[in-house]
A and B are shown apart, each in its own frame.
Chain A
Amino acid sequence: MTTTRELVLNTEPFLLNIGPVHPSTHGVYRMRATLDGEVVIDIEPVFGYLHRGIEKLMEERTYTGCIPLTDRLDYVSSMTNNMGYCMAVEKLAGIKVPERAEYIRVIAAELQRIANHCLAVGAMLNDAGALGTPFFYLWREREKIYDLLEMLCGQRLMHNYMRIGGVSQDMPEEFLPALEKLIIQWRRFIEEFDFFLKQNEILIARAKGVGILSKELAINCGISGPVARASGIKRDLRKDDPYLIYDRFKFDIPTAENGDCYDRYRVRIEEMRQSLRILEQARKQIPGGPAKAELPHLVHPPAGEAYAHIEAPKGELGFYIVSDNSIAPYRCHVRPTSLINLTALREMVRGWKVADLIIIFGSIDITMGEVDR
């Protein structure tokens, strides 16, 4: 028996292709969304548009020559990629890194973490429609960090700074005074940014309660990084499995309970504050010494395999290297943080509207370089 309502409103869902060329700045990612009016029923992700065969190319280059390739994985934060790879090779070959090099690595990694979170928060707010104002403010502060990273290694984006056994060059003498000024200015900026946006009602209405990722789903999917911490999972590799010298620094791990977009944004801002704390402590404690271990020109690790993981800004980034005692890795596999974080997108998005889809996707913070490799 058909009711009057069924006779009048005969709707059916339609397919919308949110194409590879996105206005939102996350790279070439394609979603085929099934919509019922405005409500998203299902999405089907299609990726692979940026596949460059990095893992295969790594088999043909020497261990040091692979480092520029790892730059291009998560092209937004190159220092941490380099660091993960170098740590895997050092673990395989049993190389000890001098202490000053470890401090420089920590400083570079934390600076990169702040810069990455700037981009993540800025892009998410840009997708929410704030016409670029928080984006510009964050970008202006990110320029300060990039000036320092350029002072270290010479380029702004593809740093290629870490080497097996340390870093490639020691820091110049104007680096530490500049770092001190940066920390002071950044502390003031975060206060101002919080004043600007933390209580903004429209942002709260758009982002609070939207795209909730439950704790069980996050653990089952293997989510890591700020996305997992916003769902209440208190795991951070810097505390649970300390690599480098992170056990010498005092810092907290920010978490949140709900797992919605607003919490992910808050967790990233708090992580920026904690990174500033680590930077301050590292700046005071840095010793003298060599910046790179003395190694032969071509590294010959013994045959075997090793896996090293670090807390990259987006999550847990891991490198698994198999070597057969030659100058090139036999096989190198990257644990792609962004791809694994992306697997939960479908569950997060179903039932929300199209505008929410964009903001949820922005809040997970992925980079297609890591997804496709």
Chain B
Amino acid sequence: MKFENYGIGIIKGMAVTISHLFRHPTVSQFPEQRLNISRRSRGNELVWSREKCTGCATCAKACPQGAIEIVTSTNLKENKYEVEKYRVDTGYCIQCGLCVEACPYDALFMGYSYERAKYRRNDLIQADDELLESPERPVSGYFHPEIAEKLPKQTLLVEKVTEKRKKE
């Protein structure tokens, strides 16, 4: 096995490396500069809408992990189910989104945020009012195109010109 090319390959490699020294590095400094995630992102949480939910439990049947627990009781006066307990163990949740796709009444949304770590494992089990939408728990447009249109566009690396110096 001989040294072919007499060292030219090494010189070519070194030329490429040194040219990267003069390019803008592909880095964004996290807490100060944030990128927009996808409009359909399947974030850490599940957001539930109490008005639209009818307690049909299609989401619980669709969940592959069995993370959703629904307890309903009948309300014979108004002739519908009354949802007593809607409990999601987000520790079991794998964020697959099958529950959101399964819901026939558009009552479930995936979360949009990604910095929602908890300090205790028990805090991951969320029930009833903790699951409603709030400013800390925004919704994402997964399977909901009308919400996806309102969210900011995703920052794409193909559009950030990283060969020139540019402040992002």
Seen from chain A, the residues whose Cβ lies within 8 Å of a Cβ on chain B are: 61-62, 64-69, 133, 140, 143-144, 147-148, 150-155, 158, 160, 168-169, 172, 174, 178, 181-182, 185, 192, 195-205, 208-209, 297
Task: Report if A69-B64 is in contact (Cβ < 8 Å); known contacts: A155-B42, A158-B94, A192-B16.
Answer: yes
How many residues of B sit at the interface, in one of the four size bands? 35 or more
How far is it, in angstroms, between the C-alpha of A143 and the C-alpha of B162 when the chains are bound?
13
With both beta carbons as reference points, the residue of chain B lying nearest to A66 in the complex is identified as: B64
Q: Which residue of A lies closest to B102 (CB)?
A: A297
Interface centre among A150, A155, A158, A174, by most B CB within 10 Å? Answer: A155
Chain B, Cβ-Cβ closest to A181 = B158
A174 to B102, CA, bound (A): 26
Contact B143 A169 (CB under 8 A): yes
B107 proximal to A (CB < 8 A): no
Interface string of B148-164 (1 = CB under 8 A from A): 10000110111100000
**Chain B's interface: helix, strand, loop or mixed, by majority?**
loop
Given contacts A151-B38, A178-B156, contact A199 B12 (CB under 8 A): yes
A153 and B40 contacting across the interface, CB-CB below 8 Å: yes
CB distance from B132 to the nearest CB of A (A): 21
Per DSSP, chain A at the interface is helix
- Minimum distance in angstroms from A328 CB to a CB of chain B: 11
B95 touches A155 (CB 8 A): yes
Give the chain B neighbours of A68 by CB distance below 8 A: 64, 94, 96, 98
Bound-state Cα–Cα, A155 to B94, Å: 11
Contact of B4 among A64, A65, A154, A201 (CB under 8 A): A201
One of A151, A160, A178, A199 near B96 (C-beta < 8 A): A160
- The CA-CA distance from A74 to B82 in the complex, in Å, is 43
Contacts of A185 in B (CB 8 A): 158
Contact of B9 with A200 in the complex, beta carbons under 8 Å? yes
A271 to chain B, nearest CB (A): 21
